[in-house]
Amino acid sequence: METKLADFIRDTSAGHEADAILRKCVHCGFCTATCPTYQLLGDELDGPRGRIYQIKRVLEGVPATPSVREHLDRCLTCRACETTCPSGVQYSRLLDIGRAEVVRQVPRSAAQRVVRGVLKFSLSHAGVFSALLSLGRSMRGILPSRIAAKIPERVDAGAWPSANRHSRRMLALAGCVQPALTPATNAATARVLDALGIALFEAPSAGCCGALSFHLDDEAGARQAARRNIDAWWPHVENGVEAIVMTASGCGVQVKDYAHLLRDDADYAAKAQRVAAMCRDVSEVIAAEYESLRQRLRSRARERIAFHSPCTLQHGQKIRGLIENLLETAGYTLTRVRDGHLCCGSAGTYSLMQPELSIQLRDNKLAALTEEEPAVIATANVGCQTHLTSGSAVPVKHWIELLDAAL
């Protein structure tokens, strides 16, 4: 489509990127067919095509309004529209640019800023979140049911193999909420990789990947999180670690974007590019060791499971079919899942900021996942796992735990 960006953005890095993205869009509308919020609300302005039109107008100089901000806030950034788009429109990049400009023109209220600030602080700091989770567990009986349902029981993570057993070494990101919410995930990953002759370890000074800050209006905070992680990983990168392994697909899509996030940072751009190139979802790492894995699996038929592919995995990282193949190789029977491309409604803090839409999406997803009565639901992201668990009678686990059980 034709564009005529306003002077305030035309000659900036963001303006050049937005202009290139907008010119790719032919306004065909294929994207609306796979947009979760458009399917729920039926409003063109709550679908990708309508949001692109609103962003275009703002970037061309039409003043933003609270209504525009609301329509952009309702977007899950699931990126299903990018998978569907025949023109290769990078909608999520345009959305980031549009949201930043809209919030600049239409600032959030003091109360909204406080809520976002509290969420950013409490969720992105592992120690703070762990303490709050422990408090929540002790008060579960008096909390509102919607909040209590999101608080998981404590689980035993199991043993973590020594990081000195193998010459092949890989880094893992502990992250912010995952160590407290689902500690079994990284421990199970370490055991699976150990069986394949790979030592997995975490860099203690690494923390939140920055995605939470980025999607809570704090791009500067997201960049600082990226720099902190790069500094924590860099000595190990120089010492020859093979990969930086992500066990949460939401973190994976963020770390793989570090090169873009820090492209204008003279001190970190080159390092960010290398870190992003070394980032691997755990499924990519294990798929590369497929023959070794197959020889080590205890072959037998296992339970029926339904696999939920997070949006950050299938649409963000474009990883499809790897996990399903690994689970089937391990003897699990995968059920068919209707509308597997649709979001579960977790989307980082979306379930907290847009609870009504999020719960509708969660319930729709659970209905699809349980149609064929699986014994377990498997997923690949801590946010999806926690969100689905809050409404599911069927256990929800990270898929790596199932692979670990098969070894």
Reported as a single tens digit per residue, the pLDDT across 97-115 is 999 999 999 999 999 999 9
Report the 10 Å Cβ neighbour count for 302.
18
- The span from the CA of 137 to the CA of 133, in Å, is 6
pLDDT confidence band for 141 (50 / 70 / 90): confident
Distance CA 212, CA 77 (A): 13
- For 230-247, the pLDDT digits (tens) are 999 999 999 999 999 999
Question: What's residue 26's pLDDT?
Answer: 93
Please give the backbone phi and psi of residue 324, each rounded to the nearest 5 degrees, phi first. -60, -45
Under the banding of pLDDT at 50, 70 and 90, the label for residue 268 is very high
pLDDT digit string, tens, across residues 207-221: 999 999 999 999 999
**Tokens matching residue 154:** 């404590």
- A 10 A CB-CB count for 201 gives 17
Q: What is the average pLDDT across 157-181?
A: 92
pTM of the predicted model over 0.75: yes
Quote the mean pLDDT of the chain. 95
- Neighbouring C-beta atoms of residue 267, cutoff 10 Å: 10
Determine the pLDDT at residue 144: 79
pLDDT at 67 over 90: yes
The rounded distance, in Å, linking the Cα atoms of 169 and 209 is 21
pLDDT of residue 298: 79
Give the number of residues written for the chain. Answer: 407
The highest-confidence range among 52-66, 119-133, 156-170, by mean pLDDT, is: 52-66
pLDDT tens-digit readout, 336-386: 999 999 999 999 999 999 999 999 999 999 999 999 999 999 999 999 999
Question: What Å distances lie between residue 356 and 67, 182, 325, 329, 383, CA to CA?
Answer: 18, 25, 34, 38, 17
CB 20 within 8 A of CB 93: no
Instruction: Give percent of the chain above pLDDT 70.
Output: 100
Pairing of strands 396-398, 376-379: parallel
Of 64-78, 122-136, 371-385, which range is least confident? 122-136
- Element of type H or E holding 393: none
pLDDT greater than 80 at residue 146: no
DSSP 390: T
Tell me: pLDDT of 323 over 90: yes
Paired strand residues for 306: 377
In which band, very low, low, confident or very high, does the pLDDT at 25 lie, cut at 50, 70 and 90?
very high
Question: What string of DSSP letters covers 297-351?
Answer: S------EEEE---HIIIIIS---SHHHHHHHHTTPEEPP-TTTTS--S-TTTHH
- Whether the predicted pLDDT of 20 surpasses 90: yes
Angle at 178 between CA 376 and CA 357, to 5 degrees: 70
Which of 357, 346, 290 shows the shortest CA–CA distance to 313?
Answer: 346
Predicted pLDDT of residue 39 = 95
Q: Give the whole-angstrom CA distance, residue 107 versus residue 392.
A: 37
Tokens of 91: 């909608």
Average pLDDT over residues 124-131: 91
Distances (CA, A) of 353 to 52, 79, 93, 136, 263: 22, 19, 21, 19, 30
* Structure token pair of residue 63: 């003043």
